[in-house]
Structure 1
């Protein structure tokens, strides 16, 4: 007989005193509407505020507001489209305020710059006050940030107290006695926390059979629930099922006009998170992508050349003065050249302003440490401000380095850590950089222990897996900010 039963999991269904009348999935739509309202309202308010307080003019009539209002609608539509494409409106992103706020800001900057450029090219820029535009840009960014923060807090509290609108689901579970019960319970608890009310629970075998009374009873029960308006979705949580059983199950469920979702076992999560790509006439799962496509490599290289060329042209007087100070401070060459491992394991000579009395480049290289007697007087200042790295702009022009990338280590250190850390050599999949994600997240300087090096490598690999031009720009700005503060670097 089919095991058709009401579901009464311990401490899974919440009964709060009040609920927010939104399901978990609806939060994304609500946030999109809120963002659109914020963009349109701040556009109108900025024009009115600037006209009244700064230009000392009378408040504009409606006919004078048509252009700013129209521009606000267009910017709002562009923002929503790009934010949706970047996954900003996924409910899960609301729970990651720090990361998402950065996405919101970069999205708003990009949309605003695009709109400004379009207005300039269409020769309609004279219809908009520059002061009002600046005010609109600032207030728009603040409003979007406040909306996102408030929505995130509301959703977090709703999840914590079970205050979401309930979505009624039927759960089809593993009937294999060897299936891990703890994983299923974790999934059930997570579903309940996120606003799902489990109204029925079925063993998978009852519905996966092609014939038999059990499958008919379970299917008819689901049909009755749906007719009575007590079923919104069917969720399959049966990782032990094979493809034949899953096909049979879908055959049984196709008469029920509701959404059916499958939660895979953990071994399949990795594959499902990877992108599908065309290969011949078919498709394949891309298990590992190149860090940069050919087009992205070209763009990154052009940016490197532009930054390095402009930097050398702008900074050569200062670099010349530093060279003179180094020669006056201590005997030895101006530049320090050391073998480092670069892209695809190719060895090159990195250039730095010399900041020590010695220049190790053999099989054993001693890292700089606090109170290191080898550091010269001018060298201490050069290292604390990172000015000793400026000659690496030449390495960038040569194509040996990039502005942003994993920092290259001495060849001697590479040999040591390659034997200690299995994933160390994966750093060579991207050109090394003058600055990198590890450096701006607190892993700059001496790596006194293997654990510290492992954490630095972990940050480097995260950068490689998540590379984008936006991330590079973010790292550049964070580097500039950190360089402006003279820190305790040795």
Structure 2
């Protein structure tokens, strides 16, 4: 049976696509918000220098050097915010998330600046006091801007400034529509009417009067959300009947079909096919990823060395035992390696019965609890990256005991080893951190890892690195 579909939408396209906030309003707000941030950071750099010089030495020095610093910091910060789509109006509604991103990306931009100066051996007499003053002014200015945007966008929504498209939602009778309605609202879609097609009720699906009574004449488009694959005949008749109406029809699949249509689409003959497993990275792609790993790891180890030294001293003073902890893990193509971590527990488990850390785990030391929640215990793994056993971004490696357990329970689990394991990954920035008390939690993590492998690009790695900074500050599910 052939299902006539006007346009296939995977779940990620239906609720997280670039059609959010239709029209000129979205583009204007995005550009203006980015421009304001750039100007604030540039002005804060110059003003911080002038203020510090005036208060310290009673003179007004040439601010051109700090304007140059401000240009570099502002450019890095704005690009980082763009990489996580933080300037979208829907993202600007989350004041807490915006603050987390600012606190993460502003110091990161400054660290990157210092790393460039250090590696290029640029002779610059930079006043630390002026930098601190500029950073404080930048943080205050960016926070004030977020308060402005938060209030403005709420008023704009109340006055219906942003255009929306009215939708007729067609779905199976037993399907819960609340999640679809809520996420559709973030995509500029307003569900005005809902039409449910019960199992076996083919007459309703094939009767044009039923759609008229459901309000198809009052909407701009139709969204069919389908997950009842035992009732495909009703879906086929529904789509055939909808061809009679002059409205766009979009289909959103759930379950296994939804996962398939998220894959890369290409044409074979006259048919569209979806690639569910991409081929291994080609030689130039592996070289590009390796070059990024080496450059980023060296810069991170240099910049984070004082923090690593402080953590090492704290571990030694807090509890007896070594500073580092090494554990066997499986890497690319199943090859075993020894992963390095700062010791965060009072035990050194590396056997067949390794137990995951849980909330309030008595094995976790006082210092260990802090470095685990902030992911500082993972910093020694940059050495694993330099050795070639790991990558900066990739699926997180698990203990061998957990590999054996989940490998027998989850069919796609071994597919995670088609790339090198990473310090962070797509799963981690999407909330899949910490303990996996149920198989479903691990299935969700594996699903994100497979998506990353199938959609890898250098830009995706850069995006994940920036998003990880905000995720670490949130300290979700890490203990």
Q: TM-score, normalised by structure 2?
A: 0.51
Give me the whole-angstrom Cα distance separating, in 1, the residues matched to 2:324 and 2:115.
43
Q: How much has 1:201 moved relative to structure 2? A: 11
Give me the whole-angstrom Cα distance separating, in 1, the residues matched to 2:183 and 2:428.
36
Give me the whole-angstrom Cα distance separating, in 2, the residues matched to 1:401 and 1:193.
37
Q: Tell me whether 1:164 sits opposite 2:160 in the alignment.
A: yes
- For the pair shown, which has the larger CA radius of gyration, 1 or 2? 1
Q: How much has 1:468 moved relative to structure 2? A: 1.8
1:80-104 per-position Cα deviation (integer Å, ceiling 9, x unaligned): 7885675334333334555555556
**Partner SS, residue 431 of structure 1:** coil
Q: How much has 1:402 moved relative to structure 2? A: 3.9
Give me the whole-angstrom Cα distance separating, in 2, the residues matched to 1:191 and 1:395.
42
Q: Counterpart of 2:91?
A: 93
CA change 1:29–1:419 in 2 (3 A) is same
The CA RMSD measured in Å over matched residues stands at 6.9
Q: How much has 1:442 moved relative to structure 2? A: 9.8
Contact kept, 8 Å, 1:169 with 1:196, in 2: the verdict is yes
CA change 1:28–1:408 in 2 (3 A) is same
Q: How much has 1:238 moved relative to structure 2? A: 4.8
1:399-433 per-position Cα deviation (integer Å, ceiling 9, x unaligned): 33345655544434432333345554344344235
Aligned counterpart in structure 2 of residue 346 of structure 1, from 314, 335, 338: 335
Greater relative contact order (Cα 8 A, min sep 6): structure 1 or 2? Answer: 2
Contact kept, 8 Å, 1:342 with 1:432, in 2: the verdict is yes
Q: Counterpart of 1:36?
A: 35
**Partner SS, residue 437 of structure 2:** helix
Give me the whole-angstrom Cα distance separating, in 1, the residues matched to 2:27 and 2:392.
37
Give me the whole-angstrom Cα distance separating, in 2, the residues matched to 1:169 and 1:472.
35
Contact kept, 8 Å, 1:166 with 1:196, in 2: the verdict is no
Q: Counterpart of 1:7?
A: none
Aligned counterpart in structure 2 of residue 418 of structure 1, from 407, 423, 431: 407
Give me the whole-angstrom Cα distance separating, in 2, the residues matched to 1:274 and 1:99.
29
Give me the whole-angstrom Cα distance separating, in 2, the residues matched to 1:436 and 1:452.
20
Give me the whole-angstrom Cα distance separating, in 1, the residues matched to 2:135 and 2:323.
46
Contact kept, 8 Å, 1:407 with 1:432, in 2: the verdict is yes
1:332-359 per-position Cα deviation (integer Å, ceiling 9, x unaligned): x999976532222233455789999999
Count of aligned pairs between the two proteins: 397
Give me the whole-angstrom Cα distance separating, in 1, the residues matched to 2:43 and 2:177.
51
Give me the whole-angstrom Cα distance separating, in 2, the residues matched to 1:111 and 1:355.
29
> After superposition, where does 1:303-322 map in structure 2 within 5 Å?
303-305=292-294, 307=297
Aligned counterpart in structure 1 of residue 221 of structure 2, from 222, 232, 235: 235
Contact kept, 8 Å, 1:340 with 1:408, in 2: the verdict is yes
Give me the whole-angstrom Cα distance separating, in 2, the residues matched to 1:145 and 1:336.
40
Contact kept, 8 Å, 2:260 with 2:276, in 1: the verdict is yes
Q: Counterpart of 2:461?
A: 468
Give me the whole-angstrom Cα distance separating, in 2, the residues matched to 1:475 and 1:305.
18
Give me the whole-angstrom Cα distance separating, in 2, the residues matched to 1:468 and 1:266.
27
Give me the whole-angstrom Cα distance separating, in 2, the residues matched to 1:343 and 1:275.
23
**Partner SS, residue 165 of structure 1:** coil
Q: TM-score, normalised by structure 1?
A: 0.51
Contact kept, 8 Å, 1:427 with 1:457, in 2: the verdict is no
Q: Counterpart of 1:17?
A: none
CA change 1:80–1:283 in 2 (3 A) is farther
**Partner SS, residue 236 of structure 1:** strand
> After superposition, where does 1:397-412 map in structure 2 within 5 Å?
397-402=386-391, 405-412=394-401
Give me the whole-angstrom Cα distance separating, in 2, the residues matched to 1:197 and 1:360.
53
Q: Counterpart of 1:10?
A: none
Q: Tell me whether 1:432 sits opposite 2:425 in the alignment.
A: no
Give me the whole-angstrom Cα distance separating, in 2, the residues matched to 1:404 and 1:398.
15
Q: Counterpart of 1:151?
A: 149
Q: How much has 1:33 moved relative to structure 2? A: 1.9
Give me the whole-angstrom Cα distance separating, in 2, the residues matched to 1:238 and 1:358.
53
**Partner SS, residue 85 of structure 2:** coil
Q: Counterpart of 1:51?
A: 50
Contact kept, 8 Å, 1:340 with 1:349, in 2: the verdict is yes
Give me the whole-angstrom Cα distance separating, in 2, the residues matched to 1:201 and 1:237.
10
Give me the whole-angstrom Cα distance separating, in 2, the residues matched to 1:354 and 1:201.
55
